[in-house]
Structure 1
Amino acid sequence: MGMKTKVALGAVVGIVVIGAVSANSGDTDDGSTGKGSSASAQRQSGDAKSANDAGSKGSDGKNTEKASQAEQFKAFVQKNGSPQEKKAVSHVTKVQGADEQNDILDAADVYTDFTGGLMGEGAAPAKLIASAFADWKQSENGLVTVYDANGELLGNGKF
C-alpha cells in the first residue's frame, strides 16, 4: 500500500472516531432504551454512593467536599481489595479520567510514587493497580495506564 493511501485511510479512521465520540458526548437524554442503559444507571448510582462514602471529612466529622478520584479509588480498594492490592494502591498519588466515561474511548491515568519506569520497582504493583482499577470502574472499551513519579509508563490494563 502506498504512503498516500495509508495517510488517507488514517485520516478517514480519525474522522470516524472523532464523529463517534462527539455524537455520544452531547447525549443528555435521561430516558434511554438501550440495553446498557440500566447497567449504566446502576453503575452511576453505585459510583455516586461510593463517592459519598469516600467523601473527605473535616475536623467536625462532616463531609466538607467531594473526595478526589485518588481518594475514592483508595477507599474502594481498602474496602474491597486484596492485601496485595491494598499495598500497591497505597502508592497511588493521583487519578485522572476516571469520572469521565462514554464507553467508547475511555482512558484513565493513575500516577504513583514508584520510580524507575518499566524496569523499576513499580512494574509488578502496576498490574495490581490496573486490576484494582478495573474492579472499581467498568467500561465497554476502557484503558487504564499506570505511571511512576517521573511520568514514565509502568503498565496498563483494560477496565
Structure 2
Amino acid sequence: MGMKSRIALGAVVGIVVIGAVSANSGDTEGGSGDKGTSASAEQRSGDTKPDGGSNAKPAEDKDTGKAPQAEQFKAFVQKNGTPQEKEAISHVTKVQGADEQNDILDAADVYTDFTGGIMGEGTGPAKLIASAFADWKQSDNGLVTVYDADGEIIGNGSF
C-alpha cells in the first residue's frame, strides 16, 4: 500500500511541475511576443501584396528596424570587449536564440567560420566568444554553444 501511494504522489508532483514549466514558458519572455506582434504589424501595413502576402523577405531583420542578432552581438563586443574578444568575434557568422529567453532554460547558438571541431583552431576563441556572450546577455539558467563551420561544437558556456 505504501509503495502505490508514493508512485501516485510522484506522478501528481510530476504533472504539477510540467504544468508550471509550460505555463511559465509563455508568460516570462520579457515582452518578446509584443515585439514580434508589432514587427509583423509594421511589415503587413508597409509591405503587403493585394492578395494578403508579404513582399518582405522573412530573413531580413533590417526591414523591421532591428539588426540581426549576430550584428547586435558584434556591435556590443566592438564597444565593450577586450582586444582578444574583438578578434574572436570577427569569426562569428550567425547567432540564434539570443532573443528568446524565459530564465528557465535559455539556449543560444553562435556559429563561426572556424574549422576542425573540438580539436581545431577555434577552441580557444570559442571560450572568448562564450564569455563575451555572457557579458552581452544575462539569464538565470542560460547556455551558449559555439559551433564551427561544419556545425560541430567547439565550446560552450553559461550566461
| Number of corresponding residues | 118
Task: Give how far 1:117 is off.
Answer: 0.3
Q: How much is the aligned-residue C-alpha RMSD, in angstroms? A: 2.7
Distance 1:89 1:12 in 2: 47
Provide the TM-score with structure 1 as the length reference: 0.66
Residue 19 of structure 1 and its aligned partner are, at CA, apart by 3.3
Instruction: Give secondary structure in 1 for the equivalent of 2:143.
Output: strand
Distance 2:14 2:147 in 1: 26
Alignment partner, residue 147 of structure 1: 147
The normalised TM-score by structure 2 is 0.66
**Counterparts of 1:158 and 1:16 in 2: how far apart (Å)?**
28
Give the superposition deviation at 1:14: 8.3
CA distance in 2, matches of 1:126, 1:134: 12
Distance 1:22 1:127, change over 3 A: same
Q: 1:111 to 1:139 in 2, by over 3 A?
A: same
- The alpha-carbon deviation at position 77 of structure 1 amounts to 0.1
What are the residue-to-residue correspondences of 1:1-80 with 2, within 5 Å? 18-27=18-27, 65-80=65-80
Cα distance in 2, alignment partners of residues 14 and 103 from structure 1: 20
Structure 1's 17 and 147: CA in aligned 2 closer, same or farther, altered over 3 A? Answer: farther
- Distance in 1 (alpha carbons) for counterparts of 2:78 and 2:114: 20
- The alignment status of 1:129 with 2:145, answered yes or no, reads no
Percent identical pairs in the alignment equals 85
Structure 2 letter corresponding to 1:105: L
Q: Could you tell me which residue of structure 1 aligns to residue 107 of structure 2?
A: 107
Compared CA separation, residues 13 and 148, structure 1 to 2 (3 A): farther
Instruction: Give the drift of 1:26.
Output: 2.8
Instruction: For 2:150 and 2:27, locate their aligned partners in 1 and report how far apart those are by CA, in whole Å.
Output: 37
The C-alpha deviation readout for 1:82-102, integer Å capped at 9, x for no partner, is 000000001000000000000
Structure having the higher Rg: 2
- State how far apart, in whole Å, the 2-side matches of 1:18 and 1:155 are: 30
Structure 1 gaps of 5+ residues are 1-10, 29-39, 42-62
Q: Given residue 101 of structure 2, which amino acid in structure 1 is its aligned partner?
A: Q
Query: What per-residue deviation string (whole Å, max 9, x for no partner) do you get for residues 60-104 of structure 1?
Result: xxx753100000000000000000000000100000000000000
Matched, 1:118 2:118: yes
